[in-house]
Amino acid sequence: MKGILLFIKRMLYRMGIDIRFVRKEEVRSAIEMNEVDSMNKYWSTKELSDRFLSKDVIKRFQDTLSILKDHHIDLSGLSVIDVGCGNGLLLKFLSENFSISAQAGMEYAEAAIEVARKLNPVPEYIVHDINQPYGVQYGAVICTEVIEHILHPDKAVSNLLDMLQDKGMLLITVPNGRYDTFAGHINFWSPESWEAFVQQNSGGLEFRTGGVEKTLLYAIIYK
């Protein structure tokens, strides 16, 4: 079929008619892109999952560490869970910088957990959707660039806070919505709307917000 189309194209070109073949791209909503089946397919594709080994991702790890250090937060001696842990390498990076007592990684895509177990087998890995409550508590909960993918981020933040032990700390990061153009994101916060969102959903707890360079926003909530 392709050969016939190319023959017709050449014949028409000789007559002064130029035809271009345009590849039709699949258009999906951000909600569809973040469904668990889509995420499992993503993490099962090595070419796609390898993107989480890029320099940009390593830079995110360094940004997370810089936020903690800037606020004099030491994770040593704490149980730490990375919610939306992806390939598990952020936990490995944090454990190399702090003497963490116990590590856990949470993902709702089982394929991501399989990748994480190969790259960083040390933590306990949990398949769970943060839109649902989770009954275990930790000294520190880390959630980096996750809730921009969630339709009801207020519910997710409430569940994250419930996972904190007394005197625990929650760190959340999201892209700066003024510069973020990724079609798979549902929520786009500016620095101002991020401050308002955190204040409304911090449960009356002490919190700090800020940014790293122009692209990243964060919130630290203390229980």
Q: What is the pLDDT of residues 190-214, one digit of tens each?
A: 999 999 999 999 999 999 999 999 9
Q: Measured in Å, how far apart are the chain's first and last C-alpha atoms?
A: 65
Count of the separate structural domains present in the chain: 1
Give me the residue label for tokens 């190319």.
Answer: 6
Q: Given pLDDT bands bounded at 50, 70 and 90, which one contains residue 7?
A: low
Residue 10 lies in a domain: no
Residue 133 lies in a domain: yes
Identify the CATH number of the domain in which residue 50 sits.
3.40.50.150
Distance between CA 194 and CA 198 in Å, rounded? 6
Distance between CA 152 and CA 42 in Å, rounded? 22
Residue 25 lies in a domain: no
Please state the φ and ψ torsions of residue 55, each to the nearest 5 degrees: -65, -35
How many other CB atoms are found less than 10 A from the CB of residue 40?
16
Residue 86 lies in a domain: yes
Residue 16 lies in a domain: no
For the entire predicted model, the pTM comes to 0.86
The residue range of the domain holding 37 is: 30-222
Q: What is the pLDDT of residues 33-89, one digit of tens each?
A: 999 999 999 899 988 788 888 888 899 999 999 999 999 999 999 999 999 999 999
According to the model, what pLDDT value does residue 25 have? 45
Residue 3 lies in a domain: no
